[in-house]
Amino acid sequence: MLSTKFTLNSTLLLGAMFLGACQGAITDADRALPGDELNIMDDADTADIMLNLADPDQAVAYFRNAVAKEPERMDFRRGLALSLAKAGQHAEAVLVYEVIEEAGELTNEDRIAMADAYIRNGGWAEGEAALDAIPPTYETYDRYRLEAIIADRNKEWSKADSFYDIARGLTTAPANTLNNWGFSKRIRGDLDEAEKLFRQALRADPSLFRAKVNLVVVRAMRSEYQLPVIPMTDEERALLYYEAARVAIDRNERDVARGLLEQAIDTHPRYFNAAVDALRALSASVNL
């Protein structure tokens, strides 16, 4: 009995000593690393988190610092370009992509992102050239989304329809593409097709407010001012009445516009300043 008790106590004592030694070793190891460099993840993991989870401005700051420390790392420059684009700094993103291109490290995915940055910064010709440099066999949603937008700008309607259709088939979330395609049809004056596409966009994403506005506007352009049966909050309903009223004013249907503005004001859960101002202006112009 004494032997068993001694063995048990010895085991517990040795275990405690071992645990204490391990804790001491971990503490010593922690203290041995400089505070700024202490990170349990490698650079690739950190960069991925910054790109996908961080606030865009925080990501820009992280990648600026990383590029300053290791300017030869094109993955850091790529992360900086993507972060700048997410932060809306498209002109600077283009400059970073151009540095990557000069280094001969530009990938097809980079060219698509660079084309997007060019286009958002007003560089349509440069964006088109960036896409033209990509092999036709490299097919992605973002590539065809941009091809469609450029075709729209060039009024190459058949190409635009083809690219929109391909892009729709390459994504599981086609609402934005369908909305853009509908807007393209509206520009061409094909209001019926535009309405169909806006409705398809809302079936894909019932929360897409831009598609709701576009649907209401394209119906109002045909003097169909009644709001469509789609999901909407009271605030959205008020805003949609307001958008329909703006179309009615443009079409010189002032009585219709006045009624729509009154509905917008009555429906909005708070004070609807823009609608109130529009109604006052409309009433003043009628009384002149």
CB 258 within 8 A of CB 281: no
Residue 284's pLDDT band (cuts 50, 70, 90): confident
CA 41 from centroid of its chain's CA atoms? 27
45 pLDDT exceeds 50?
A: yes
Average pLDDT, the chain: 87
Q: What is the pLDDT of residue 47?
A: 81
The phi and psi torsions of 18 (rounded to 5 degrees) equal -65, -45
108 pLDDT exceeds 50?
A: yes
Residue 7's pLDDT band (cuts 50, 70, 90): very low
42 pLDDT exceeds 70?
A: no
Residue 6's pLDDT band (cuts 50, 70, 90): very low
* pLDDT tens track for 9-23: 444 333 443 344 444
Percent of the chain with pLDDT over 90: 79
The residue among 178 and 48 whose pLDDT is bigger is 178
Q: What is the DSSP letter of 228?
A: P
Distances (CA, A) of 68 to 58, 80, 138, 159: 15, 11, 33, 43
Assign residue 88 a region (left: φ > 0; alpha: ψ between -120 and 50; beta: otherwise).
left
- Secondary structure (DSSP) of 46-59: HHHHHHHTS-HHHH
